[in-house]
Each structure stands twice: as C-alpha cells, then as structure tokens.
Chain A
C-alpha cells in the first residue's frame, strides 16, 4: 500500500479516466470531474495529476484525433494500466474494511 503513493485528487482523476475509457483526455476528464465534484478545476491541476500518474505507471497515453475547436491540436487519450486497476481495488478494499470496523453507536450523539 505504501509504495503506491496515490493522492486523493489523483485517485479521483484516475477513477475518472477509468470511467471515460477511450474518451479520457484532459478537458473531458476536467468536465466529468467538475460535474461530479460540483466545483471548478483548473487545467493545470488535472494536467499535473495526469503527468505525475503517468510517471508512476498508473497511466499510459497515446495521441488521439484533433478538432477544430482545439485549433488543430491533438488530444492525448489516457488509459489506466492494469497496475492502476489493482491499486484502485486495493484502496477500495482497505477503505471498506475500515468502514466496517467503525463501531455503530454514532446515532446516540443526537440524544445527548
């Protein structure tokens, strides 16, 4: 677990990449995340997360098509590696185990 070093924001971006599949490029990821998180994100934050994760081996990327809207510049399509899928699964497991371990009586606070 310790070796993976996946930050919270990175995890979100990685999950989005996994969700978007072949449509996972910078702006689309930003759009999707903005909608889900309901807050504005900058291109810079997304891009630096993508680059970091690519370096760590969570993502691979290839150039995609270019559009008029992008002034003829090509997209870069990201793809989550099997390693990334494994790490995501591990994190999810760790979390759910933790959730299960929380003792129940939280509701009693309301009566205090």
Chain B
C-alpha cells in the first residue's frame, strides 16, 4: 500500500538555505524551492535532487542572503582583516617560497588525507549495527610452543553458544556462523558462492535489512537468503523470492529473501545464507567434539546494554574443557568486540578478510613522517623569511603591537598557507582515489573508498581540522620565534639572532634527509625483492598448466580420456597446489638421530606429477603406479628435508625409515614411511615464506586437483576439450579451471602493489626534502648577495665561491647519511629477515640509495648557488 507522500529534497542544502537566507524571505523561498522540486520530480526524477542543490547555490545573491552588514561585527573583525591582508600580501610578494611551501604541504596532505579516508572507512566496518558495542565474539587462543605465544583464532567450539546463553546472566542472545562455500544452480545457470550457515536469528542479530522477503521468517528450514549481487546474477528479470534453487551437493532450497549485503560494510562476507541446521545435520560429530570442531564455529554474543564482557569470558574459561586431554593446557578463550574485529588484533581463521590493526599504525607513521617533513619545510622557510621581516616586527612593536598580536599575525599566515594547500591537496585527492582503489590488495579486502560528499561530511570536517592542526603545529614555532625579537636591536642592525635559528633549521633539514635516505633504501630493497619474485625460478614448470578440481570424480578414468587427446601433454594430480594453497603441516622424526621432530609440509601426488610438473629427481626413484607398498609407505622428500633430518646426502637417505606425525581431527597419527626418492628443492610456498622441508606421499584418496599440461597458447580451446571430457563424468557442477601461472602472478601483483606504494611515498618524501633544501639554499644565497658580489669583484674564483656557499649544506647531508645508514640497515635487516626467504641488505643497496639522495641534494644546492655565483656583481652590489 502506497500513501501519497510529499517527497523531501536532500537535507543539507535545505539546512544551508535556512542558514544563509534573510529570515523574512525564508518561508516564501523555501516554499518556492519545494514546489519547484516537486515539479522536477515529476518531469525528471533522477535530476531533481541535483537541480535542487544547484538552485540553492544560485540563491546566494546579495539581495537574498543575510548580508555581512546585518551581522554584528565583532570588535576584533578589523584586526583579523588586517592580519589576513598582510599575510596575503606577504605570500604574493614571495611567490617562489609560497609555491614551494604550498606544493610540499599539498602533496603531504593529499597522502595523509588518503590515509585518513582509508582508516575512517575501515573503522566504520560493522558500525551500521546499533548494538555493535555490545556484541562480542569469542576467540580460541592456542598456545604455540615453538613460538612461545598465543595464536588467536576467530572460531570456538559449538557448544559454547548455548551453554553461555543460558548460564551467563548478561547475555541477551547468541548467534552462530559456519563458513561453507559451494555452487548454486537455477535453471541452466550455475555460480559459485561464498556461503554462511547461520542461526535463525542472524538477520536481526547483525542488523541486515532484507530488500525483499520477511526478515523474521527468512532463515527457517528449507530457505536460503541471497545477496543482492548473487540474486542479480541468477535472476536477471524474475523476482527471486519464492524461487526454487539447487545448492549442488546440498539440496534444493527456496529463496526467501534478498539482503543488501553490499550496502553495509561488515567483516562478514557472503553471497548466500543457509539455515545452520543444514550444517549441523551433516556434521553431528563436530558439534560435541571440541578438538575436531573448534576450527569451524564462530560464536557471537549480544550482551545487555552497557554490560561488561568479563563474566562471559571468565565463564567460558572456567568451563570444563573438552579439548583433547593432552593438549587441554594449550587452549584458552579470548574475546573481541564486534566493531573492533576489523583493525584489531591479528586473528586466524577469520570469516572474511580483515585489515589488522598493525596496518593502521604503519599507515599513521607514514602519514606522520610525510606531514612532519612538509611542516618542517614551512617552519624552515618562515623562520628564514622572518629574519628579513625582523624590521617589520620591530616597527610593529614600537608602534604598540603586543607580542600576542605578532604571534597571531604569523599564525594567520600559516593558516592561510594551509588552506591553500588543502585546496590543492583536495584536487590531488581526486586523482589519487581512483588509482588507490585500483590496487589489488584493496580490492581483496574490500577497501575501496569514496569521496562522496554526502556520506563523508565528517571526513571533510576532519580534513579541515587536520589543516588547522598542521597550521598550528608548523606556525607556532616561527611565530613565537619572530615575536621574541627585541625591537631596538633588530632596528639597529640585521641578523642578531640569525645564528641560533640557523642551527634549528639545519636540524630540521637533517631530519628530513635522514628520513628520505631510510625511505629510499627501503624502497630499493623492496624493489629488489619484487624483482626476485617476478623473475623467481620456482623450480618446477607452472607454465601451460591448467588446474581443475576433481574432488569426488573418478580421476584415473578421466586421466585416461584426457591423455587420448593430442593437445594434452600430461595429466597428474595433487592434494594441494604448491605455492597457491596452504599445504598440510606435519612433523618428521628420524629415529636414528633422536626423538627431535622437524616441521615439514606434506603433499600427496600421483606418480605422474613429478614428470608433469617437471620436478627433478636427484636420487632414488619415482612412485610406481598402482604399487600397494608405495601407496602405504613410500615418500619422496626434498633436499632440505634430507639435510634437516640429518642425512649426509641424498644417496644415504634412500631406503631409510622416518616417522611422519599428522594432526588429524581424531588425534595424532604416526606413520612409518620409507624414503624412496629425493627431489631437488623447489618452491612450494609463496616467495615471502620459506620453502622448507617437504614430504610427498602417494595417497590416491587425497588427490583433489588435477594438473593438465597442454600445448600451445589457445587456452580456451584446450579448456573446451577438457570440459567435454569432464562433462561425461560430472554434469551437475560447473566446469572451472585456473591457470597455474596466472594464479601465481596474481599473488605477485599484490606484493608489487605494496612496493609501488612505498616507492611513491619515498619519492614524495625526497621531493619534499629537496624542496625544503632548495628554499633554504635560496634564502641563504639571497642573504649573501652582497658578499658574493664583493668577493667576485676582489677576484675570488667561481669554484671557491661555490664551495663556500654550499659547505654548510654539504655538512648537513653528510651527517644525515651517517645517521641514516645504520638505522636503515637495522630496520631493513629486521623486517626483511621476517618475511623474505633471502633477505639481502647489501652495501650496494644502501650505497645506491644514499647516492640518489646525495645527488639530488647536490643538484638542488648547486643549481641555486651556481646562479648566484654567476650573477653580475655590479647588479648584486646595487642591491638595496
């Protein structure tokens, strides 16, 4: 039922209207505007709102708005007006300096604003929920003995939800989630989905609104709820609600609602919601067995308003633990508030992707460094220029200006510069945002940000506040310094206080250069690592390999069929894809050497994989197809495993028996295995992780992915061939394939994005430092114009003069280099050691970085000095 309703125009223009219009005209004009808006709604509904806003702007006319004359002028109005005019005149008079200041500040501000936008956006996650502050999630803290610290997991045992809901007084409600992806089919359309099995109260608990359907009934048994995106893909024309869809391998369901999951930012990501009972029915053993099930269930609790979560946590930890007896001591529970899940501590096994809080600090530090560097420039220049304005200050003081008024004058000047910079920064931001949104990492974490004004009014206020703060920070020292001039002494002669301020400014430039050098060295090292990644030799051939999922399919028969085709050169199967998937971690023991275990990765493969992926056997033999003893006992290991297990060489390890310990849901399992072959080390992990020991066994039951090596570059054609064969065995699932090389380079791209970000920021840091240096040299030279003239007239040579003028600056840079090298060395050695397999912080890296900064600085200094030295001495002596 639709009642006739007067649609209202956008709110903020109306508020603005009320603010600026003369009171006596307001009623009439507001009515007129509304009427015009209603007319527009009828003729052009899509444009009505924009037109309304434009019309409001066009109302700003001297006749209609409250004139300045009607506002009672505050008594200090004229004073500020003078400050403003003086500031403006000063800025215009010194165009180069102003331009340098504003451009440096604008760049730094733009980057900082981008970071602010990103962080505010990330911080908003889950805040659409009005009760976000009283919803908590329990986490499992597993104590990792080898690292001697707790590892948090977002999941907890199933039973907790119910026990806690009934026994902890403050808990109002609980909701549970299990992740489960799959494929959905409607008529002939099939799509993959990210699914969540949820409690019936999910929609209300997490405050999701349904676009269509009934929220209360939506998650009853036999129903599914789709995201708007998936619904659009599946049902382009039809109304989704009430349609019957098939979830492959699960069953048929009725679509009971469509949820606007794109409109809210949440750490929960899903395309489809299923009633939790579907999962519970098929996985009964996981519900009561903590050890097997704790990695599957997410338990959320809604507390009463303002209740403390402590009783809940204490209760959970006091429960009679049902974890496997021998490991009980390693498990405990932790707690997270819903709105602190994103940008919080690092939690494994998360529902979707979240941004850890560490990223926040990293970005804040970057923004701070840049912003500080730019405000150093401002301070530097203001002080330098202030020396020339000493007379102005002196005269102002003599004619009766108080210290406070002089300070205000300089602060107003700082604010004026900041606002100019803010405007430029804002323009820059328009360019930066789309570039930023295109970064692959951000697409993965749903980090895209918008500059849309309506939803970001707070952001804009933050920007303005930010500019004011930066203005105060960079303006206060110069203001205080200049206001402290003694009027008599400055009028008597120039440069009385020159020396001490010069040292302060030198320190600022020194800090800037130190940062620049550290940045650039980091960039070079990162860049080098990126090169290693791009060019990396994985030690196996992943080009022209197509990966196809074969879970529950008759692999040997499929292999036979595929091998009949001439386009296909080889077919093999593995349990997990080296590099791309996380391999199972196992412990190995060489009993002859002692009881110590070593950590290793485990992959199952068939006998064809070694040839097909072009792994190199250095010793021993491959698995024999079909051989029963091979399936049960044989393993092939890599060279690293041989060394770690304590064998002298590959040959001596052959036919030796080792113990392989697997962590299974049902408990630990120890199997005796015989080494039949040794392969040359190859990368089975992403480059940033060490590819350590690896064990390969021949377990046909675990094979889940087929690698098809094909010939030629026509992937589409090969895919069609494979699909045809594949259809004979499976007609219900959609055929999906991935190219091994593409997926590998995808991971690489994310890393290269990071390199680009850091590279850009270090470039900016250097530019800002050089700008500061440039203006300082320029000013220094200008002060010495006469000296240079006299020296030239008296016959000093050019190189001598150049050296004389640049000496002081050279010293600063050399000092910066001396300090920056060890710091950069330490920092980079620290973090590269943490993430890269082959950290390389070499003398060459560091000297290249230093050389770049040094040369740029030299260039800045000499270009300025040279001009001054080459100037006609007669001209410079006429000066003043």
Interface residues of A (CB under 8 A from B): 25-27, 30, 42-45, 47-48, 51-52, 63, 66-71, 73-76
Contact = CB atoms under 8 A, between A and B. Distances in A.
A71 B64 contact: no
Contacts of B31: 26, 66, 70-71, 73-75
Contact of A44 (B34, B38, B60): B60
Given A27-B32, A70-B32, A73-B30, 18 more contacts: A25-B28, A25-B32, A26-B31, A27-B35, A30-B36, A42-B54, A43-B33, A43-B36, A47-B64, A48-B62, A51-B63, A63-B28, A66-B31, A70-B31, A71-B6, A71-B30, A71-B34, A76-B28
A25 B62 CA distance: 21
A66 to B, nearest CB: 7
B59 interface: yes
Contacts of B29: 26, 43, 47
A48 B60 CA distance: 10
Contacts of A71: 6, 8, 30-31, 34
B34 A51 contact: no
Contacts of B6: 68-69, 71
Contacts of B34: 69-71, 73
B577 to A, nearest CB: 62
A92 to B, nearest CB: 26
A74 B54 CA distance: 23
Contacts of B25: 47, 51
A70 B58 CA distance: 19
Contacts of B55: 42-44
28 contacts: A26-B28, A26-B31, A27-B35, A27-B39, A42-B55, A43-B32, A43-B58, A44-B55, A44-B59, A44-B60, A44-B61, A44-B64, A45-B61, A47-B28, A47-B29, A47-B59, A48-B62, A48-B64, A51-B25, A63-B28, A66-B31, A67-B35, A69-B6, A70-B32, A71-B30, A71-B34, A73-B28, A73-B30
Interface string B27-68: 111111111101100000000000000110011111110000
A47 B22 CA distance: 12
A26 B36 CA distance: 10
A73 B55 CA distance: 18
A interface, over-half SS = mixed
Given A71-B6, A73-B34, A48 B61 contact: yes
B344 to A, nearest CB: 46
Contact of B63 (A30, A48, A70, A73): A48
Contacts of A69: 6, 34-35, 38
B35 A42 contact: no
Contacts of B33: 43
B473 to A, nearest CB: 41
A23 B35 CA distance: 15
Nearest to B4: A68
A70 B64 contact: no
B64 A73 contact: no
A42 B54 CA distance: 9
Contacts of B39: 27
Contact of A74 (B27, B38, B62): B27
A69 to B, nearest CB: 5
Given A30-B36, A51-B63, A44 B58 contact: yes
Interface string B352-365: 00000000000000
A47 B27 contact: no
Contacts of B32: 25-27, 30, 43, 47, 70
Pairs of residues from A and B, 8 with the lowest C-beta to C-beta distance, nearest first: A73-B31, A70-B31, A44-B58, A26-B32, A42-B58, A44-B59, A48-B63, A76-B28
B35 A52 contact: no
A51 B29 CA distance: 11
B279 to A, nearest CB: 52
A52 B39 CA distance: 26
A25 B36 CA distance: 12
Nearest to B32: A26
A17 to B, nearest CB: 14
A26 B63 CA distance: 15
Nearest to B29: A47
Contacts of A67: 35
A67 B6 CA distance: 11
Contacts of A26: 28-29, 31-32
Given A74-B28, A74-B31, A75-B31, A27 B36 contact: yes
A47 B65 CA distance: 11
B37 to A, nearest CB: 9
A65 to B, nearest CB: 11
Nearest to A54: B63
A95 B28 CA distance: 35
A8 B54 CA distance: 24
A52 B63 contact: yes
B205 to A, nearest CB: 39
A67 B35 CA distance: 9
B59 A73 contact: no
A27 B37 CA distance: 11
Contacts of B64: 44, 47-48, 51
A28 to B, nearest CB: 9
Nearest to B60: A44
B65 to A, nearest CB: 10
Interface in B335-371: none
Interface in B563-585: none
Contacts of B60: 44
Nearest to B28: A76
Nearest to A77: B28
A97 to B, nearest CB: 32
A104 B865 CA distance: 75
Contacts of A44: 55, 58-61, 64
A6 to B, nearest CB: 15
A44 B771 CA distance: 46
Nearest to B38: A69
A15 B786 CA distance: 73
Contacts of A76: 28
A47 B30 CA distance: 11
Contacts of A70: 31-32, 34-35
Contacts of B63: 47-48, 51-52
